[in-house]
Chain A
Amino acid sequence: MNRHWKHSLKPYLLILPALFLAGLFAYRPFVITLLNSLYTVSINGQRIAFVGLDNFRRLFVNESFQTSLSNTLRFTLYFVPVNVFICLSAALLSHREGKLATLNQICFFLPMAVGLSSAMMILKMIFNPFIGIVNQLLGISVEWFNNPNAAMALLVIAGVYLDIGIKFLLLHAALRNIPANLVEVATLEGANPLQLFKYLQLPLIAPTLVFVLATNIKDAMLISSPVLILTEGGPFRSTQTLVYQMYLEGFKSGNYAMGSAIATVVFFLTFLLLLALLQIERRRVYYQ
C-alpha cells in the first residue's frame, strides 16, 4: 500500500520544482501585477484601496505614458522589418560555398559572443557625437543622443546588433535545410535568384521566419535594457519605452500601482500582436 502511494506520488514530486517556480515567479506575480493595477499601492508595496480602472484612466491621459506607448509601437514598427531584413540578408548572402562564405558567416554570428552590456557600452562610445568613431569615420555630425530621430535609429541599431547573432544562425540553418535537389531543379528550370527566393526558399523557411517575427515583436515591445544603458529614455523621452517607464515608475518612484498598470498594458498589447501574427501564419504558412 505504501509503495503504491509513493509510486503514484513520484511524478508529482518530480515536477514539483517546476510547478513551484511557475507558480512563484510567473503566475503569482502576474496576478499580483493585475491586482496592483487595480488598487492604490503604498510605497511599500501594500495594496491600500481598490480603485478599479482608475489607474488605467489616469495612465492613458498621462502624457509620459502616451509617449512611451507611441515610442514602443514605433520602435516595434521600425525594428521588426529592419531586423528581419538584415538577418535574412545576412543569411541569404552568405548562403554559398567557400572559405569566404564561412568567414562571412562567422562575422554574422559573432555579435552573439558580445554580451548585452558590452555591446551597449561599445555602441555608446562609438556613437558619441563628439569623439565617437562613427561620426568621425563617416564624416557626419549626427547628434545620436540629442536628436530624437537619431536616438531612435540608434536604438534600432542596438536592437539589431543584439539579435543578429542568434537570428542569423536560425535562418542560416533553415536555408540549409532546404533540400539541395529542389534548388537544383529550380535553377535548371531557369529560375533566377529572385524567383528562387520568392517561390522556393521563402515558403520553406517560413516557419522559422514566423518564429523570428514572433520573438522580434515580443522583444521589441519589451525593450528596456538598451534604453537603460544607451539613451535613458532621452532625448526628451523620445526613446522612453513602456517597460522603461514601468521601471521608472515602479522601481525608481515606488509607484507600484502605475508600474503594474503599465506592465498589464504591455502584456496585453504584446499578446494581441502575437495573436495577430499567429492568425496570419495560420493562413499563409506551409509546414512540412
Chain B
Amino acid sequence: MIILISLTTVLFAAGQREIKPDPVRTVTWWHPNSGLAGQATQAMVQAFNSTVGVEKNIRVEAVYQGKANDVLTKAKAILQSDSRRDLPDLAQLDGAAVLDIRDVDALIPMEDLALSDGYDLDAILEAARLSVTYKDKMIAMPFNSSTILLYYNKTAFDQGGIARAPRTLDELAVTAQALVQKDARGNVIRSGFANVPTTYELIAWLGQQNHLSYITDQENGHAGNPTRVLFHENGTMVNFLTKWKALYDTGALENLTSDRNGAFASGRTAMIVASTSNLTTILSMVGDRFEVGVANFPMVDEHATGGVNVGGGAIWAFDNGSGNRDAAWEFVKFASSGEQQLAWHIATGYFPIHRDTYSLPAFEEHIAKNPLFKVAIDQLMQSNPQLQGIWVPSAYQIYYAFQTGILKMLTENRSPEETSRALEAEINGYFAEYLRMQGQ
C-alpha cells in the first residue's frame, strides 16, 4: 500500500514538466533584463505578439533567467546534457558566453537566418556587427549593445568650477583630485573617481592604444581560440597601469567593485565609468539629487585614439528541434529593426544597432531633448570598429585576475611591469587549461 502511494507520487513528480497546449508557435527567449530593461523587454515582446505575432501566428515568451552569466550557465547546462529540446529558441548572452556557445552544433548562426530571408547585414552598425563576428561570419544578432561612458556629477563639477569632463587619464587624475570632499574629521565622504578596472574597462583602455591594440592573439579571439595574451608584450598594459597608479597616488581614486551605480547615485563618488545601458537606471536612481553628465570614456594617453568597443549582449539562436527557426528569426528581425531599437534605446540607454533608427524623426527629437543619450552614439561613431571585445575562456576568472592584480599593485605597491607580467602568466595559464580541456 505504502509502496503504491510512493510509486504514484514518484511518477507524478517525474512527470511534472511545463505543459502548454499551443496552437501557435511559441518562441522562447531567455534574457537577463531586469528593472527598467526588463520592463522594456516586456513591452517589446508585447508589441511583437500583438502585431507580427498575430499576423504570423507566433507568440514570443520572454523568460528572465537572472544575470547574463546565469543565462549562460543555464544554456550550458542543457547543451552539456544533450537534451536539445530544453534549449530556448533564443538566448540573450554577453561576450563572456561566446566561447561556450560559439562552436556548439545546436547553434544557428544568425547570418544564415538573415541571409535566407534576404536581410541586408550592412544595415547593422559595423562595430556592432563585428562584435558578434567569428571567422568572418556574424553568428548572433547584436541586441543590447552598449559602450562604456564616463558618468559625472555635473552639479559637483559646477560647484568646483570644472568646465569640462576630463579627456585623458592624466586629466582625470587632476579633475578627481579637485572633487574629493572630506568631512570635519578628514574622512573622505566623496571620492573623485571610483573604479577597479576589470575586463570590461580594460578592453577599451588597452585596445584603444595606438588606435588599435590587441589584448590576445587570434584577433582577441574572433579568429580562433586565443592561445596567449599580447597586452604585456605590446606594452599596453604597462602603459595603462602606470597611468592608473598615478591616478591612485593622488588619493582621489576609490577602489570600489560593487554597486558603483549606487555609490554614484548617492553622491558618494563624483565620477564613474559605466555602460551606456545604465543611463536610464542611473538617472532614475539619482532623481533630483544632482545633475548627471556623461562624457567620452577617458583615453589612456593622446595616442589612444581607438575609442571604445561595442559591448553588451546579443541574441543567439538555437536549434531545439521545434522547427521554430523562422519564427525565432521573425522576432529577431523585429527586435533589431529601426523602430524597435529606438524604443529600446529610449527605455534603457542601449544604443540602436540598426542604421535606420538614426534617420527616424522620432530619434532626432529624442536626442534633442536628451542630449545625454547622444554622447555614447557620437563616441561610438568616432571609434575604430576593429576594436573588439575579447572572446576568452574562464572569463569569470580572468575578470577577477585583472581586478585582484590591479588592486595588489595599488595596495602592495608593486610595479606596473611586475603586475603586467603576473597577469600575463595567470591568464595564459587559464588559456592553457582551456586548451587542455579541449584535448589539445
Contacts and interface: CB of A to CB of B under 8 A. Distances in A.
A and B touch in their complex, CB below 8 angstroms: yes
B437 A252 contact: no
B202 interface: no
Nearest to B183: A141
Of the four ranges (under 10, 10 to 19, 20 to 34, 35 or more), the interface on chain A belongs to: 20 to 34
Contacts of B258: 145-146, 234-235
A253 interface: yes
Interface in B258-277: 258-259, 262-263, 265-266, 268
Nearest to A130: B266
Contacts of A42: 437, 439
Interface residues of chain A: helix, strand, loop or mixed (majority): loop
Nearest to A67: B404
A252 B97 CA distance: 11
A43 B433 CA distance: 12
Interface string A224-268: 000000000111110000000000100111110000000000000
A40 B73 contact: no
Interface in A165-188: none
Given A64-B400, A128-B259, A248-B396, A254 B76 contact: yes
A249 to B, nearest CB: 8
Interface residues of B, number: 32
Contacts of B393: 253
A131 B403 CA distance: 25
A45 B6 CA distance: 32
A44 interface: yes
A255 B438 CA distance: 11
Contacts of B404: 236-237
Contacts of A131: 262, 266
Contact of A252 (B6, B69, B255): B69
B299 to A, nearest CB: 27
B74 to A, nearest CB: 11
Interface string A130-145: 1100000000010101
A246 B259 CA distance: 25
A253 B394 contact: yes
A40 B437 contact: yes
A234 B257 contact: yes
Contacts of B417: none
Nearest to A58: B433
A146 B393 CA distance: 26
A233 B265 CA distance: 24
B263 A130 contact: yes
Contacts of A40: 436-437
Interface string B60-81: 0000000001000100100010
B257 A235 contact: yes
A111 interface: no
B407 A128 contact: no
Given A130-B259, A236-B257, A252 B80 contact: no
A236 B73 contact: no
B356 interface: no
A145 B259 contact: yes
Contacts of B255: 146
Contact of A146 (B6, B100, B257): B257
Given A64-B400, A130-B268, A235-B257, 11 more contacts: A41-B437, A42-B437, A45-B80, A129-B263, A130-B265, A131-B266, A143-B256, A146-B259, A236-B257, A248-B396, A252-B69
Q: Nearest 8 CB-CB pairs, A to B?
A: A130-B266, A145-B258, A130-B262, A235-B257, A236-B404, A44-B80, A146-B256, A236-B407
15 contacts: A40-B436, A43-B80, A128-B262, A130-B265, A145-B258, A145-B259, A146-B259, A234-B258, A236-B257, A236-B404, A248-B396, A248-B397, A251-B73, A253-B394, A254-B100
